[in-house]
Amino acid sequence: MAEVRGGGDSGDVRPELEEDLSEVSDFLKAIGKQIKLLRERAGLTQKEFAKQVGYTESLIGAVEQGKRTPQRELLEASERILDAGGLLIVTSDDIESAKAKARVRHPEWFRGYAKLEAKARELHCVSLYSIPGLLQTEAHARAVFSMSHPLLSEEVIETRVAARMGRQEILTAWPRAVFGWVIDESVLRRPLGGWEVHEEQLRHLLRLGNCRGMVIQVMPLDRTESAGTGGPFILITPKGRPQMAYIEVQTSSRLITDQEEVRIMNARYSTLRAQAHTPQESLALIEKILGDR
């Protein structure tokens, strides 16, 4: 049984670690070296330079090492203070492009599961409190991250949204994996982000539920029995590897590889599918919720 700190679909409050800049690291290191060279040529220490540009010394150090992407404001201030002759300003657009690439990457605490998910041949999810991340619209994801507590910065929100949207590429990849979701009815009746956002989300579920290889089932509120009282979970079968399970709650998550535990969760999932509405009944219920508005 492996344990991973953090989470993905419901994990909105997590430690904010360094950006994952692996795909653009060489470029950012080159920019950092230019800033360091110009700073040293001007006879300034990192501390002195940081004070003049209005940033912390640790951030300047991270930028010079290529570990952080410099904001446009920092480039403009550096250009002026270091008399760079336009050398730093011309990199602004390239920096924005680099930030966009870094933005779609995942934080360290979720990277392991995300890599498994991207290679999944089967993925089955039980969701009792939220729309599964792979099924969320961009507006819904942004609303979810915006209501996190403690509050996330706008930059972090956009980073998380882009990462979540990037994960959804698996839904259109070919050959297509086998997908199944059991979603509690209460999730479909809670209009997170307002009705406009929620309506778009429900219609998105209808479109996905009509795609081959994607099965959406709803656990109705009037059921007197449920095998899901232990909480939400995901069963995932990566290419060339045994099936695993993934669970998360609050600020903790676990990637379960013990096959006996996985077998038990598989049995729970099978029971939940039998207790839930059929796929056709589930889509009809979503349409009814839309019509009742």
What integer pLDDT is reported at residue 160 of this predicted model?
Answer: 85
Under the banding of pLDDT at 50, 70 and 90, the label for residue 101 is: low
CB under 8 Å, gap of 24 or more: what pairs does 115-118 form?
A: 116/236, 116/238, 116/241, 116/244, 116/255, 117/167, 117/170, 117/236, 118/167, 118/169, 118/170
22-26: average pLDDT: 59
pLDDT digits over 166-181, tens only? 899 899 888 889 999 9
Share of the chain above pLDDT 90, in %: 58
pLDDT digits over 268-285, tens only? 999 999 999 999 999 999
Say if residues 175 and 213 touch (Cβ distance below 8 Å): no
23-47: average pLDDT: 86
211-219: average pLDDT: 96
Say if residues 31 and 66 touch (Cβ distance below 8 Å): yes
34-40: average pLDDT: 93
Strand partners for 275 = none
32-53: average pLDDT: 93
pTM for this predicted structure = 0.68
* Average pLDDT over the chain, rounded to an integer: 86
Give the Cα separation of 217 and 234 in Å (integer): 15
Q: Which domains does the chain have, with CATH numbers?
A: 25-103 (1.10.260.40), 108-292 (3.30.870)
Asked if the model's pLDDT at residue 25 lies above 70, the reply is: no
Q: What tokens appear for 205 in the block?
A: 């579920």
Of 97-106, 159-168, 242-251, 284-293, which gets the smallest average pLDDT? 97-106
